[in-house]
Amino acid sequence: MSEQVKFFQNVATYVDQAAGFTNFPKGLIEQIKVCNAVYQINFPVKIKDKIQVIEAYRVQHSHHRLPTKGGIRYSDMVNQDEVMALAALMTYKCAVVNVPFGGAKGGIKINPKEYTEDELERITRRYTFELIKKGFIGPALDVPAPDYGTGEREMSWIADTFMQFNQQELNAQACVTGKPIGQGGVHGRTEATGRGIFYGLKQACSYADDMKKIGLETGIEGKTVIIQGFGNVGYHAARVLQENGAIIVGVAEYEGGLYNAKGIDVDDLKKFQIENKTIRNYPKAKFIKQSNLLMEEVCDILIPAALENQITKDNAAKIKAKIIGEGANGPITPNGEAILSKKGVMVVPDMYLNAGGVTVSYFEWLKNLSHVSFGRLDHRHQDDSFNKIIDLIEGNTGRRISNREKDALRGADELDIVRSGLEDTMINSYENIRTILKRHKKMNSLRTAAYVDALDKIGVTYLKLGVFP
Ligand code: GLU
């Protein structure tokens, strides 16, 4: 088996490496590693007067906490091994950021670009119906979300289909996250994975001793960044990093990459990509036809934010970045990681770094269960008290508080609350895994530390549940 076709095994290898730092019995680790339920579906959909059989999956990796949670991917590369690996990563990811869910993942083996909107809607609704039939969706059971090739639109079809079949279910809206705002979505979910990547990297770059080891200064400002993948995750990560002073020198997509040592204006490029449906011929950067070569250019931070298995034993030695931030799930294979580790590259692992998406999904699920938006009850009250305090200060000091100062202090709305919850989660989780890494002299990666953190939490939950007859 090549490195590329054993993604699930790669995740298991990482778990085994971490298990040696825990005291759990071997059987418990085995139970944690396996997928609890794998559902493969083949269903017919009429596409342009022909019947097409669609292959799809939903995998629930761990039931130690319910509901299970994880995105649904539309790609012609979807296969059972991939969905199982991604479901497993969701379990560990949720544990690391203290989101109280088990892991799951779904996938439909189609290239969404080859279908009309109407066809995609019929495929999505039929898939949802298949999930309903077997108890693989529901606010207390299994809650999908967007992933590669899906977004708000697909989530709204899923929510609507589920609600049609569950009219008495008061919490039906919470059957899926990543919905449009008007359908029970939460502000800040779309950008959440990308923004979380920024918060995570900011935290990783904040320790002088860690940065000194790799020859960098602390802080994000002035750091050069190459991003692979300019979809929802890559774009928002690049945008927020740029807003905070990073220089985006490279952007790679499947059709090729762009490089400009002086920096690429992220929003300008996004506009170009939307208008032209490609980044090819973007006039303000050099075009590199072989997109994967862009990852080998000089930069401080490399962010693979597309698909798995991008950095392997074949190209790891050529990577020049000092920090790799895993925006995607599983972009580095264990063999690739071993080479990077010898070179002293700091890897900020996927199960921590891209967990912003599921963290804000958790907020959305909570919002749906509570049937009220964050800040709705106390926003006006906070604003009134705030205005009274400002009046008092201005009256007593004779100084006018500027509108900018007022905006910075004003009562929080939903977006503020979501962003601060996300930032807090990313800071605390980083502290946890860094502390674990420092505690073990023989441990050499943040990834192993993150797995140890996850195994500890999952293992303890299993033992508490007493699920072993
Ligand atoms: N698909 C995203 C991930 O891989 C989000 C999952 C979710 O929000 O449930 O983390």
> Using one digit for the tens of pLDDT, what is the confidence trace for 60-71?
999 999 999 999
Residues 322 and 341 in one domain: yes
Is 3 a residue whose pLDDT tops 60? Answer: no
Query: Which atom of ligand 1 is closest in space to residue 361's alpha carbon?
Result: 8
Is 109 a residue whose pLDDT tops 70? Answer: yes
Comparison of pLDDT for 405 and 300, the residue scoring more: 300
How close is the Cα of 352 to the center of ligand 1, in Å? 12
Residues 261 and 136 in one domain: no
Q: Whose CA is nearest to atom 8 of ligand 1?
A: 358
Query: Which atom of ligand 1 is closest in space to residue 89's alpha carbon?
Result: 4
How close is the Cα of 9 to the center of ligand 1, in Å? 21
User: pTM, whole model, 2 decimals?
Assistant: 0.93
What pLDDT is recorded for position 463?
Answer: 86
Using a 10 angstrom Cβ sphere, with 0-12 exposed, 13-18 middle and 19 or more buried, the burial of residue 153 is middle
Is 412 a residue whose pLDDT tops 80? Answer: no
**Lowest-confidence pick of 118-122, 155-159, 399-403:** 399-403
What pLDDT is recorded for position 376?
Answer: 74
Residues 273 and 326 in one domain: yes
What pLDDT is recorded for position 127?
Answer: 98
How close is the Cα of 358 to the center of ligand 1, in Å? 5
| 217-to-210, 225, 434, 469 alpha-carbon distances in Å | 10, 14, 18, 54
Is 192 a residue whose pLDDT tops 70? Answer: yes
What does the pLDDT look like over 18-62, one tens digit per residue? 999 999 999 999 999 999 999 999 999 999 999 999 999 999 999
- State the distance between the two ends of the chain, measured CA to CA, in whole angstroms: 36
Residues 148 and 26 in one domain: yes
**Lowest-confidence pick of 9-13, 189-193, 402-406, 461-465:** 402-406
How close is the Cα of 89 to the center of ligand 1, in Å? 10
Is 5 a residue whose pLDDT tops 60? Answer: no
Using a 10 angstrom Cβ sphere, with 0-12 exposed, 13-18 middle and 19 or more buried, the burial of residue 52 is middle
What pLDDT is recorded for position 428?
Answer: 98
What pLDDT is recorded for position 469?
Answer: 61
Q: For residue 117, give the nearest of 146, 86, 157 by alpha carbon.
A: 157
Tally of structural domains, the chain: 2
For residue 11, being part of any structural domain is answered with yes
Three-state DSSP string of the chain: CCHHHCHHHHHHHHHHHHHCCCCCCHHHHHHHHCCCEEEEEEEEEEECCEEEEEEEEEEECCCCCCCEEEEEEECCCCCHHHHHHHHHHHHHHHHHCCCCCEEEEEEECCCHHHCCHHHHHHHHHHHHHHHHHCCCCECCCEEEEECCCCCHHHHHHHHHHHHHHCCCCCCHHHHCCCCCHHHCCCCCCCCHHHHHHHHHHHHHCCCHHHHHHCCCCCCCCCCEEEEECCCHHHHHHHHHHHHCCCEEEEEEECCEEEECCCCCCHHHHHHHHHHHCCCCCCCCCEEECCHHHHHHCCCCEEEECCCCCCECCCCHHHCCCCEEECCCCCCECHHHHHHHHHHCCEEECHHHHCCHHHHHHHHHHHHHHHCCCCCCCCHHHHHHHHHHHHHHHHHHHCCCCCHHHHHHHCCCCHHHHHHHHHHHHHHHHHHHHHHHHHHCCCCCCHHHHHHHHHHHHHHHHHHHHCCCC
Rounded Cα gap, residues 464 and 162, in angstroms:
33
Query: Which atom of ligand 1 is closest in space to residue 358's alpha carbon?
Result: 8
How close is the Cα of 326 to the center of ligand 1, in Å? 14
Task: Report the percentage of the chain scoring pLDDT > 70.
Answer: 97
Is 379 a residue whose pLDDT tops 90? Answer: no
Cα dihedral across residues 204, 148, 146, 104: positive or negative: negative
What pLDDT is recorded for position 4?
Answer: 53
Residues 38 and 164 in one domain: yes
For residue 461, being part of any structural domain is answered with no
Looking at residues 176-185, what average pLDDT do you find?
A: 96
For residue 373, being part of any structural domain is answered with no
Residues 153 and 242 in one domain: no
Rounded Cα gap, residues 361 and 69, in angstroms:
9
Mutate to test the pocket of ligand 1, among 72, 73, 147 (most ligand atoms within 8 A of CB): 147
Mutate to test the pocket of ligand 1, among 90, 142, 422 (most ligand atoms within 8 A of CB): 90
For residue 457, being part of any structural domain is answered with no
Active site residue 33: no
Rounded Cα gap, residues 82 and 86, in angstroms:
6
Is 216 a residue whose pLDDT tops 80? Answer: yes
Residues 159 and 13 in one domain: yes
Q: What is the pairing mode between strands 301-304 and 247-253?
A: unpaired
Is 302 a residue whose pLDDT tops 60? Answer: yes
How close is the Cα of 204 to the center of ligand 1, in Å? 22
Residues 303 and 336 in one domain: yes
How close is the Cα of 260 to the center of ligand 1, in Å? 31
| Residue 76, token pair as written in the block | 């012609």
How close is the Cα of 146 to the center of ligand 1, in Å? 6
What pLDDT is recorded for position 401?
Answer: 79
What does the pLDDT look like over 193-204, one tens digit per residue? 999 999 999 999
What does the pLDDT look like over 240-252, one tens digit per residue? 999 999 999 999 9
Rounded Cα gap, residues 142 and 264, in angstroms:
40
For residue 91, being part of any structural domain is answered with yes
Rounded Cα gap, residues 196 and 420, in angstroms:
11
User: In which band, very low, low, confident or very high, does the pLDDT at 467 lie, cut at 50, 70 and 90?
Assistant: low
Query: Which atom of ligand 1 is closest in space to residue 143's alpha carbon?
Result: 9
Residues 250 and 156 in one domain: no
For residue 246, being part of any structural domain is answered with yes
**Pocket around ligand 1 at a 6 A CB cut-off:** 69-71, 145, 147, 177, 329, 354, 357-358, 361
Q: Which domain does 210 fall in, by range? A: 192-353
Q: For residue 148, give the nearest of 186, 110, 99 by alpha carbon.
A: 110
Looking at residues 440-444, what average pLDDT do you find?
A: 93
CATH code at 299?
3.40.50.720
CATH code at 119?
3.40.50.10860
Q: What is the pairing mode between strands 247-253 and 256-259?
A: antiparallel
Query: Which atom of ligand 1 is closest in space to residue 70's alpha carbon?
Result: 9
Tell me the angle at which helices 414-439 and 192-204 cross, rounded to the nearest 10 degrees: 40
For residue 394, being part of any structural domain is answered with no
Is 2 a residue whose pLDDT tops 60? Answer: no
Q: Whose CA is nearest to atom 7 of ligand 1?
A: 358
Residues 30 and 134 in one domain: yes
165, 170, 172, 178 alpha-carbon torsion, rounded to 10°: 150
For residue 25, the Cα-to-chain-centroid distance in whole angstroms is: 31
- Residue located via tokens 């931030």: 325
User: Over the chain, what is the mean pLDDT?
Assistant: 94
Contact yes or no for 47/290 (Cβ under 8 A): no
Domain boundary among 156, 183, 210: 183
| Residue 248, token pair as written in the block | 């985006």
Q: Whose CA is nearest to atom 9 of ligand 1?
A: 70
Select which of 33, 69, 93, 105 is catalytic. Answer: 105
Residues 121 and 238 in one domain: no
Domain boundary among 148, 183, 218: 183
How close is the Cα of 357 to the center of ligand 1, in Å? 5
Residues 225 and 344 in one domain: yes
Query: Which atom of ligand 1 is closest in space to residue 73's alpha carbon?
Result: 1
| Residue 82, token pair as written in the block | 């991939």
Mutate to test the pocket of ligand 1, among 193, 236, 360, 364 (most ligand atoms within 8 A of CB): 193
Domain boundary among 296, 322, 353: 353
Query: Which atom of ligand 1 is closest in space to residue 362's alpha carbon?
Result: 8
